[in-house]
């Protein structure tokens, strides 16, 4: 994909555009809006995927309030820096005309109400409303209550960012608050991983290809890895990160969601209800996390980061063994790893196949668990790829086996210009009212429930050097298998 080219409508797009909309972005002056939401909305507009008539209202508390002209400049700077495109004059003028700003505080909703009312009058014909809470998690409750008190919730939809709660009790309480204002059908709990083309393609790989689905089970697969290392440190986010840690930040929110896609049973149809029912069944079958099967690491120098408590035991890296107690996956361990200041930026699912029962070939015992039985490797980092690793005969007179691969790459296939980034895809789906790729209330509560033993009794953190793959104990956790990353 040429990152300088505006995206066009995807080949699998809905045959109709969303209804006319007023979109309100709470936290519009924050980092998420700058890096993802404003550029994403512009790219949707440039690709012709936003409604025919729409208005985008940026909002923030009074102390961060902007004039309309300042917000338009802020949005243009964000698009130019993070959108991967240079807006053409015509495209930007059309988008800019839809932008405005209004402050919003629990004790003063008048500016927001006036802005929404004006936007709806400009569009006419009772447009839909979508509110995106791009605010710190501590503000979720107050913003939801603000929408309820102002009656803006009626007939509206709401996108709520992660993390949704910090444990079971907080998730239940937040769901209770949300449901006091919004029906579950109006709520879109967002995880941008689920908006990735390459994650969505897992469903196609499994269920549209007879080659794969028959072997996607405990009889053929020995273990599964979901590996999302990051090279970045906490990057000045100590206030958030030191109170959160890698498990809450990445595993509950992102990696468990990918596990749900990997492990689900075939849905009866590709609808939100059918897909989310199967995902929640996976979560119901998850065995509570055993702290003895978890490695928590902390990169060297973390305690010297600005804002980090000098005696902090927050993990900056975590590796977890998860188990699913159902007919398809019983006995197959799922290894989940993520963290900061690790050896690479990757987003990889590896399905390791069992060794053949009849070993007519000599296989290097040292390679056991490293792919000698075959692997499917799904790289769901943008733009993504699918690799099948297997053994093949090397050329020559002797029967000698060597590693071989077959690779599918998104960037070399189909029309890359049709690809939507995660946030773009999910914002579009929320406007269309399709909850397929969003987390349901009972699903997120179940994930916090199975996480409770680890949260309540975490193992001590172990130090690891920056740029490595974590403490040495991660290799003992996964034995007799081996991590696919680093690739060998």
When the pLDDT of each residue in the chain is averaged and rounded to a whole number, the result is 90
**Domain assignment of residue 85, given as a range:** 21-161
Instruction: Return d(Cα 58, Cα 71) in angstroms, integer.
Output: 7
List of residues 6+ apart from 365 with CB closer than 8 A = none
pTM of full prediction above 0.85: yes
Cβ contacts of residue 94 below 8 Å, gap of 6+?
45
254 is an active site residue: yes
Are 129 and 157 in contact, with CB atoms under 8 Å apart?
yes
Considering only residues 102 and 401, tell me which one the structure prediction assigns the higher pLDDT.
102
What share of the chain has pLDDT > 90, as a percent? 74
- Look at residue 369 in the predicted model and tell me its pLDDT: 41
- What is the predicted pLDDT for the residue at 13? 44
End-to-end CA distance of the chain: 28
Q: What is the CATH number of the domain that holds 94?
A: 3.40.50.720
Q: Distance between CA atoms of 380 and 389, rounded to whole angstroms?
A: 17
pLDDT bin (cut points 50, 70, 90) of residue 487 is confident
Q: Are 113 and 220 contained in the same domain?
A: no
Q: For the ranges 34-38, 135-139, 178-182, 330-334, which has the lowest average pLDDT? A: 135-139
Shared domain for 385 and 456, answered yes or no, is yes
Q: How far apart are CA 313 and CA 316, in angstroms?
A: 9
Residue 488 reports pLDDT greater than 70: no
* H or E element, residue 473: helix 473-478
User: What CA–CA distances, in Å, run from 337 to 145, 161, 228, 365, 458?
Assistant: 36, 22, 6, 25, 16
Residue 93 in domain: yes
The answer on 230 and 110 residing in a single domain is: no
Number of domains in the chain: 2
Which is nearest to 132 in space by CA: 427, 457, 392, 362?
427
In a domain, 207, yes or no: yes
Judge if 137 and 258 occupy the same domain: no
**In what side-by-side order are the strands of the sheet with 128-133?**
99-103, 54-60, 21-26, 128-133, 157-160, 187-189
What is the model's pLDDT at position 411? Answer: 76
Angle of helix 272-285 relative to helix 441-456, nearest 10 degrees? Answer: 20
Predicted pLDDT at 1: 36
Closest CA to 373 of 260, 477, 482: 482
**Tokens 């910090």, located at residue:** 166
Q: Which are the contacts of 91, defined by CB distance < 8 A and separation ≥ 6? A: 6, 42, 45, 46
Looking at 161, 182, 207, the residue that finishes a domain is 161
Residues 405 and 280 in one domain: yes
Q: In terms of domains, do 156 and 263 share one?
A: no
Using alpha carbons only, how large is the chain's radius of gyration in Å? 24
Segment 369-398 shows an average pLDDT of 81
CA distance 21 to 460: 49
Instruction: Tell me: pLDDT of 444 over 50.
Output: yes
Cα distance between residue 244 and residue 339, in whole Å:
12
Q: How much is the average pLDDT of 400-417?
A: 77
Strand, helix or coil for residue 301: coil
pLDDT at 236: 82
User: What are the pLDDT digits (tens) for 288-332?
Assistant: 999 999 999 999 999 999 999 999 999 999 999 999 999 999 999
Query: Are residue 113 and residue 239 in the same domain, yes or no?
Result: no
Tokens standing for 309? 């408590």
Catalytic residue among 254, 425, 481, 484: 254
Q: Is 139 in the same domain as 205?
A: no
Distance CA 71, CA 240 (A): 26
The pLDDT score that the predictor gives to residue 88 is 87
Of 8-22, 243-257, 330-344, where does mean pLDDT reach its minimum?
Answer: 8-22
Q: pLDDT value at position 440?
A: 96
User: Do 24 and 53 touch, CB atoms closer than 8 A?
Assistant: no
User: How far is Cα 19 from Cα 421, in angstroms, rounded to an integer?
Assistant: 21
On the question of pLDDT at 155 being above 90, the answer is yes
Q: What is the pLDDT of residue 14?
A: 45
216-239 per-position pLDDT tens digit: 999 999 999 999 999 999 988 898
The position carrying tokens 């509206």 is: 156
Residue 33 lies in a domain: yes
pLDDT score recorded for residue 368: 43
The two three-digit tokens of residue 103, written as one number: 């402050």
Say how many C-beta atoms besides its own lie within 10 A of residue 425's C-beta. 23
Structure tokens at 118: 């004006």
Return the axis-axis angle of helices 89-96 and 38-46, rounded to nearest 10°.
Answer: 120
For 375, the token pair is: 């692997």
In sequence order, which residues have a C-beta less than 8 Å from that of residue 151 and are 6 or more positions away? none
| pLDDT tens for each residue of 38-86 | 999 999 999 899 999 999 999 999 999 999 999 999 999 999 999 887 8
Same domain? For 462 and 386 the reply is yes
- Between 88-92, 260-264, 410-414, 457-461, the lowest mean confidence (pLDDT) is in 410-414
pLDDT tens-digit readout, 113-128: 999 999 999 999 899 9
Residue 370 has pLDDT above 60, yes or no: no
Q: Which residue has the higher pLDDT, 368 or 27?
A: 27
Helices 197-207, 256-263: crossing angle, 10 deg rounding? 20
Strands 157-160 and 401-409 come out as unpaired
Is residue 296 within 8 A of residue 314, CB to CB? The reply is no
**Which strand (E) or helix (H) includes residue 350?**
strand 348-353
- Does residue 390 sit within a domain? yes
- Domain containing 299 — which CATH number? 3.30.360.10
Whether residue 383 is preceded by a cis peptide bond, meaning omega within 30 degrees of 0, is yes
Residues 225 and 143 placed together within one structural domain of the fold: no
Determine the pLDDT at residue 373: 61
User: Same domain, yes or no, for 228 and 84?
Assistant: no
Q: Any idea how long the chain is?
A: 488
Say which residues have a Cβ less than 8 Å from residue 129's Cβ, sequence separation at least 6: 21, 22, 23, 24, 116, 152, 155, 156, 157
- C-alpha to C-alpha distance for 123 and 126, rounded to whole angstroms: 8
Look at residue 5 in the predicted model and tell me its pLDDT.
Answer: 40
pLDDT surpassing 50 at residue 246 = yes
């Amino acid at each position: 994909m040429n990152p300088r080219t505006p995206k066009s409508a995807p080949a699998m797009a809905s045959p109709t555009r969303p209804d006319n909309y007023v979109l309100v972005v709470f936290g519009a002056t924050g980092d998420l809006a700058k890096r993802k939401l404003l550029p994403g909305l512009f790219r949707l507009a440039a690709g012709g995927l936003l409604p025919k008539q729409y208005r985008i209202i940026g909002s923030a508390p009074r102390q961060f309030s902007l004039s309309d002209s300042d917000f338009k400049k802020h949005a243009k700077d964000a698009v130019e820096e993070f959108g991967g495109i240079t807006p053409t004059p015509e495209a930007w003028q059309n988008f800019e005309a839809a932008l405005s700003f209004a402050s919003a505080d629990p004790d003063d909703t008048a500016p927001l109400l006036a802005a929404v009312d004006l936007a709806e009058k400009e569009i006419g014909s009772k447009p839909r409303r979508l509110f995106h809470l791009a605010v710190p998690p501590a503000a979720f409750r107050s913003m939801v209550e603000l929408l309820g008190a102002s009656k803006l919730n009626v007939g509206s939809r709401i996108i709520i960012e992660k993390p949704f709660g910090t444990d079971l009790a907080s998730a239940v309480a937040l769901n209770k608050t949300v449901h006091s204002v919004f029906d579950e059908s109006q709520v879109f709990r967002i995880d941008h991983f689920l908006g990735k083309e390459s994650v969505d393609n897992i469903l196609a790989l499994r269920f549209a290809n007879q080659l794969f689905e028959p072997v996607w089970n405990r009889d053929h697969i020995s273990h599964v890895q979901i590996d999302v290392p990051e090279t970045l440190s906490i990057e000045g986010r100590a206030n958030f990160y030191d109170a959160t840690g890698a498990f809450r930040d990445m595993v509950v929110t992102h990696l468990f969601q990918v596990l749900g896609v990997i492990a689900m049973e075939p849905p009866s149809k590709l609808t939100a209800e059918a897909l989310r029912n199967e995902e929640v069944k996976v979560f119901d079958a998850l065995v509570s996390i055993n702290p003895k099967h978890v490695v928590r690491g902390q990169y060297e120098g973390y305690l010297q980061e600005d804002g980090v408590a000098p005696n902090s035991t927050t993990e900056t890296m975590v590796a977890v063994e998860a188990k699913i107690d159902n007919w398809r996956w019983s006995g197959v361990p799922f290894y989940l790893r993520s963290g900061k200041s690790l050896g690479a930026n990757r987003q990889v699912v590896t399905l390791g196949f069992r060794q053949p029962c009849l070993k007519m070939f000599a296989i290097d015992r040292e390679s056991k668990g490293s792919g000698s039985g075959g692997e499917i490797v799904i790289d769901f980092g943008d733009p993504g790829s699918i690799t099948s690793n297997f053994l093949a005969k090397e050329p020559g007179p002797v029967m000698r086996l060597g590693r071989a691969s077959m690779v599918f790459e998104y960037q070399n296939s189909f029309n890359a210009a049709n690809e939507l980034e995660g946030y773009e895809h999910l914002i579009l789906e929320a406007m269309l009212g399709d909850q397929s790729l969003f987390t349901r209330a009972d699903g997120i509560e179940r994930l916090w429930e199975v996480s409770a033993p680890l949260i309540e009794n975490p193992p001590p953190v172990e130090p690891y050097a920056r740029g490595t793959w974590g403490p040495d104990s991660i290799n003992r956790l996964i034995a007799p298998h081996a991590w696919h990353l680093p690739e060998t």
